[in-house]
Amino acid sequence: MRTPFILVNFKAYPEALGSKAIDLARSCAKVGEEAGRSLAVAPCALDLFMVAKSVRIPVFAQHLDPQETGKATGWIPPEAALAAGAVGTIVNHSERKVAWEEMRDLIGKCRELGLEVVTCADDVAEAETAAKLGPDFIAIEPPELIGGNVSVTTAKPEVITKAVERIHATNPEVQVLCGAGVKTGRDVAKALELGTVGVLLASGVVKAKDPQKALRDLAKGLAHGR
């Protein structure tokens, strides 16, 4: 994944399901191309295949299971995401927490398949623990700020700087993202200033009255990247 970047999580918002997922992904692709910036999307599992077929930007799964293929009704093994066109996955989002062992096994399987992993962490302690497992990225997201109107970069910048420090001390290969309340290009720029390589966000784009306008503003913040 080319950094710095913005990863837009579609969650299960009605504004980003089915054909609307394709429309939103195309908006992300258009803005990324126009701005010359790196954007990626994480659609609902049922939309992942058609979104990946519709755009040429990186597509992530929102969640995968460290499950073997075969007798796995209802589970989503990494191989399924790879076959659908995903380049990676989110894991341990605050809305879909997993056990440490599940996270460990999933990261291992994804590494074997060449899928990138964005592991979410609620706080610095969880981020440090996750770093030991060696995901590609750790997204630090205080859950009380997710979906709110105040960015973590404004409300709790010290959480980001401390997370970056502790993660890199534990595993210098892991890169850091931040999320929770990120809605503007200024928020993105601040995130980069605090030592991250981008942001993970959802409602700031998906619930925006004009998603393309919101995306253009956010993409401007990436200009401050290294």
In the numeric block, which tokens belong to residue 75?
């589970």
Residue 38 exposed, middle or buried by CB count within 10 Å (0-12, 13-18, 19+): buried
CA angle 142, 145, 122 (to 5 degrees): 15
3-state DSSP percent of the chain in helix, strand and coil, to 5: 45, 15, 35
CB atoms within 10 A of CB 158: 10
* Consecutive H or E run containing 125: helix 124-131
Task: Find all residues with CB under 8 Å of 29, minimum gap 6, and list them.
Answer: 39, 55, 56, 57
The residues that are catalytic are 93, 141
Task: Find all residues with CB under 8 Å of 5, minimum gap 6, and list them.
Answer: 37, 38, 39, 40, 197, 198, 222
Residues 43, 124: Cα–Cα separation, whole Å: 27
